[in-house]
Amino acid sequence: MEINLGAIASPSSPQSNPVENVIILGAGPAGLAAALYAARAELAPLVLTGTELGGQAALTHTIENYPGFPEGVGGMELGELFQKQAERFGARLEFDTAEAVDLSQHPFRVRTYGKEYLARALIIATGASPNHLEVPGESEFTGRGVSYCATCDGWFFKDKDVIVVGGGDSALEEGLFLTRYARQVTIVHRRDQLRAGAILQRRARENPKIQFIWNTVVREIRGNAAVEAVRLENVQTGEIWERPTDGVFIFIGHRPNTALFRGQLDLDEQGYIKTDALMRTNVPGVFAAGEVMDPHFRQVVTSAGMGAAAAMMAVRFLQEQEG
């Protein structure tokens, strides 16, 4: 769908406080898909990328379930393709992070480290961040053996033994990736069954470098200058023991990045932004898409679709405002 909103003032129109037609917070699949659709509607959207261009997807080594890539595609590569396509139609990416927003007035106000922006419409695609174990030693050894990104840090564990905590798709995907480098990958899961998809389970079970420890949780991460061991507990028997390891990779889900919007937008009990089926929040003109409002699917393809839908609704909102 292409809509020309020539009646809407261009962000470059001379005025004392320039107002953006659309500001998009986040540059993952949802944010960049929204940027593409808003740009094709000639809204010249401004994307505040945050700290992770490409979002969580960019940290995934290979994405095999995004349509159009039968051999799979690297997460970072896919993010770069999204970016190029959005910029081709006029989207503008600013490598900056929103520090505060004011949704009580219109245009909406967005403040970053050094600037303040005004927006007629706002699309929130701030995504989610990895959950932590919240055990002793985790924060102390982050970057010194504790990691939340196998793609980022796997190279540092050549011929070493590592533990992967989790049992979902991310845990198995990253665990399989780590077998490229590590001597052995041990997946520690609090249950006796995995939650990952069937194909990933089969690959992991068939990989000679991967072994499993079931019904077990990590209670402590120990070491001196770097990780040396973990303290494990069997949740059924209560048995506690120490296992040597060189690294701990944690993949136990994510929490939505919604702290900026508490008290301004309706959130559910888990902190996800509440929207209707049209990506609309409780504040007219504010839309949300992707993992910041999606506790169910959390896939690249669904996030991209939600971003496109949010942009289409932002176009409609701006048309109604002008009308």
With the C-alpha atoms ordered 311, 316, 320, 323, is the resulting torsion angle positive or negative? positive
Give the residue among 253, 219, 215 at the shortest CA–CA distance from 135.
Answer: 219
Q: Is residue 152 flagged as an active site residue?
A: yes
What distance in Å separates the CA atoms of residue 233 and residue 27, rounded to the nearest whole number?
39
E strands present in 15-80? 19-25, 46-48
**Nearest residue to 304 (alpha-carbon basis) of 26, 21, 4:** 26
| Separation CA 71–CA 277 (nearest Å) | 32
- A 10 A CB-CB count for 156 gives 13
DSSP run (H or E) holding 161: strand 161-165
The catalytic residue among 96, 102, 153, 192 is 153
In terms of Cα–Cα distance, which of 48, 71, 115, 32 is closest to 303? 32
**Burial class of residue 276 in the structure, from the number of CB atoms within 10 Å of its CB (0-12 exposed, 13-18 middle, 19+ buried):** exposed
For residue 143, what are its two tokens? 């970057």
β-pair partners for 121: 22
Spatial contact of 45 and 21, defined as CB atoms under 8 Å apart: yes
- Give the bridge partners for 210, in sequence order: 185
Which residue in 96, 102, 152, 192 is the catalytic one? Answer: 152
Point out the catalytic residue in the list 96, 102, 149, 161: 149
Q: Is 153 a known active-site residue?
A: yes
d(CA 153, CA 253) in angstroms, rounded, equals 18
Asked if 106 contacts 91 with a C-beta cutoff of 8 angstroms, the reply is no
User: 87 — phi, psi (to 5°)?
Assistant: -70, -30
Q: Which two tokens stand for residue 1?
A: 């769908």
DSSP label at 18? -
Active site residues: 149, 152-153
